[in-house]
Chains A and B, each alone.
Chain A
């Protein structure tokens, strides 16, 4: 209510200003002044305002820097992040210099050269030398920025060390899952058609293929019998037939996948990616060892997400249909960072930074960076825990429509069709 009142007052204030201007207009009309004639007083007033604005603008800027310096991201917690910070500071130095010089010239001229009837503007149409100077000078600044920037970029995006720890970050609406390799040190192959409640990442193994095919067969059998025995409206029957056709397509493709897998295994033996899925560790916790290069393999199940870890200056999109990568070396443990920031509750956060749906704003997973020993202990116990599908992501108030847990549906239908089996 008070807000409405404030709004009302403001609107009235504006109307008052408008009326004042109108009165002014009428009086100047009486004095024979035309609207397009800008009076010397108006020119002087605006000239002064340009200077006043400049001072306030800079003061506001400097105040923001001063007051919010501590709220910016703390020191980078990764090796490449330190490079990014140095590059960032270098760029800021150039940018702020240019900003203050050009803005000051602009506001200075705007205030200084306000119209005076006793003066004529300087007829100055061009000067090729001058123009050459301000083409070449920015060009050389930019050359430095480009070269320095690209060197950093190449370091960051170059190939990862062969012994880097591979960790998969798997995104779906609206949570993250991590996958660590087992003893073989390699992550197994995946296929989205094998996703179900127990296999949320679609890891390919012979068993998972068999289970998925059985589930599809059971679902199909259930639908077949429904079609035969129940009396259904045409539209519903049509739907069921479509669904059956869909299941058959799926099953056909899974059979193809099985053939591919068998060929690959026959060819490569133990080196085949299909041989490494069984011991992978799938977990809702995200831990990384200190000072060890890690190659993040980033995937998505449904829409584009983005794996963003601000404190480690790491970001890469998760794109359905492809695996993206980001390599990094964490350099500060969570505990040390708690001391650096003076915040006992500090956590590194992996958050989603590509619009992905209603609960996009709460798709996060804490990251723990710890020394190798602690990490090893965590890994050992993570292996022993079977993966638990988490409860549905509960959105904070005000509740958006609850995101459907996409793993629930197939599991349910399996149960339902299992009951229909003869």
Chain B
């Protein structure tokens, strides 16, 4: 098919993009979106491994509280795990940094950074991002913030440990907990840099989508991946600055004696000078990003699965326009729901009612998405690639996690389950598992595009099924721990007889978490082995319609050797009646009298 796609441009020369690049400009300070995308991916994988290890360490403590683990002492040292028993302060530190790393460094930067970078120019038909330099800057700021975040693990007093939401006053007062000292300062600085990185990236994505689409690539012909990345970037641009201001005000409260968030505090035997601030202000600012953040994580994953499911079901995505509509509706509504995290914060209960309403509204576009996925699978011809398995897995976790969200969105019910393990289970399923499955689907699907080689399918299968079983093995029982009333962020439950009955679930959860961790070793092996030794890929291995598969397997600067192809149709003409092949690339002109479909 490759010949079909590139045929109109075969006459264009092949040699114009060959200028030698130094190692540094090609692999390190690269301005090529494909290389930057790989840099984001590798960095995110490293961060994910660290974040996952942290969760295993605190899961060990939760399953077998107070028991000694040589592994803990080996990894954390005798200061934070004396005699192999995790220290309570470090427990909080691990919980906090695990959350921060996973939410921001893996699922935000890892997903958008990797796939928006790789796919936006390739799928809309652009030579590169609008600004290669800003794109490079975006990666290196991300790298810097990653290094800083990891460095905060090694300071006296330990890393930030007030939870990834870093609510003041706890995070503002070093007297209140050791992690609120230098570790917290570094956390804030790292996040500020991270936000700068994210903003530069998002700006680039938005501009590229709006301005650099190739001839014929109308907005309504863009693949759903690009739509999702576009909406994500817009949401990020509008919400991350608010987190930045929240972080800056917190820095000021911590070091300049201001009182944005602090008032009437008596700590460590002393009445503080702060008056007039409100801890609730921080919560409003934090969740104004914090909730859209959920969709910043989720939308790219949903975009990726839309593309992967359509391609591998050999069937158009059902309701293309409804899918775009639901992406945009979710993006818009995500700004109106933040205070559902604050039903019992002391906020006015009437305000709470408004947020119950808006939050439950968001279930409608989400339901539409699920039904559209189901209809896409219905009477499809499903090719079970590892990417396809992860995409269907995403739909399964999105259903399970989305539905428990209804309970948490209902303020009256939130009174009972707020801040219990029910919440932890809910958001890990709907946001953690779904988003990471989307990321895996993306890696398996576009690996040939990124590295020109194939990953091993068999290992992919084992990886998927173990991960899938482990994910539900961990999070399904966790709902029950929460419904028994067990609060999150507890170092141990041994002081509470009322939770004894569900403590064996904690052991089960940890065992499944270990299984999940081991399964990821298969992925890592498969990934890195295939980068260097995998079988060479062909140009369009998945027989896909979208533009990225018309570029040569070997990366070249500027993506297409000749002119950029022109687009003639929407991206989902799979198994179109009357066509010999079960796919029709976007570059194929409409035949005489052929109608263009789009949902």
Contact = CB atoms under 8 A, between A and B. Distances in A.
B38 interface: no
Interface in B252-270: 262-270
Interface stretch (A180-188, A261-269, A275-283, A355-363): A355-363
Contacts of B163: 355
B43 interface: no
A99 B349 CA distance: 30
A21 interface: yes
B535 interface: yes
Interface in A233-276: 246, 249-250
B364 A142 contact: yes
A21 to B, nearest CB: 4
Contact of A146 (B360, B522, B537): B360
A114 interface: yes
A378 B594 CA distance: 86
B459 A21 contact: yes
Given A125-B597, A156-B415, A306-B419, A324 B265 contact: no
A315 B262 CA distance: 22
Contact of B477 (A43, A64, A308, A404): A64
Interface in B71-110: 71, 82, 85, 87-89, 92
A408 interface: yes
Given A10-B518, A91-B406, A145-B360, A84 B415 contact: yes
B367 A134 contact: yes
Contact of B518 (A11, A316, A396): A11
Interface string B49-76: 0000000000000000010011100000
Contacts of A407: 269
A143 B493 CA distance: 38
A148 B338 CA distance: 21
A304 B268 contact: no
Contacts of B395: 106
Nearest to A132: B322
A385 B279 CA distance: 35
Interface bracket on B: 35 or more
B177, B316, B368, B484: residue with the most chain A Cβ atoms closer than 10 Å: B177
Contact of A95 (B85, B374, B403, B465): B403
A157 B522 CA distance: 51
B593 interface: no
Contacts, number: 417
Contacts of B419: 306, 308, 315, 353-354
Contact of A91 (B262, B407, B418, B455): B407
B170 A72 contact: no
A406 B364 contact: no
Contact of A351 (B69, B279, B382, B496): B496
B92 A119 contact: no
26 contacts: A35-B534, A64-B476, A72-B483, A91-B410, A103-B400, A106-B373, A115-B314, A115-B383, A121-B574, A122-B380, A124-B375, A124-B379, A125-B319, A156-B412, A173-B267, A302-B173, A306-B344, A311-B485, A313-B415, A317-B346, A321-B262, A351-B487, A358-B177, A361-B491, A396-B494, A398-B82
Given A123-B315, A406-B267, 19 more contacts: A10-B518, A42-B461, A43-B384, A60-B472, A71-B484, A99-B400, A110-B392, A114-B382, A120-B314, A138-B367, A150-B411, A313-B415, A314-B415, A317-B344, A319-B346, A349-B498, A353-B418, A357-B170, A409-B268
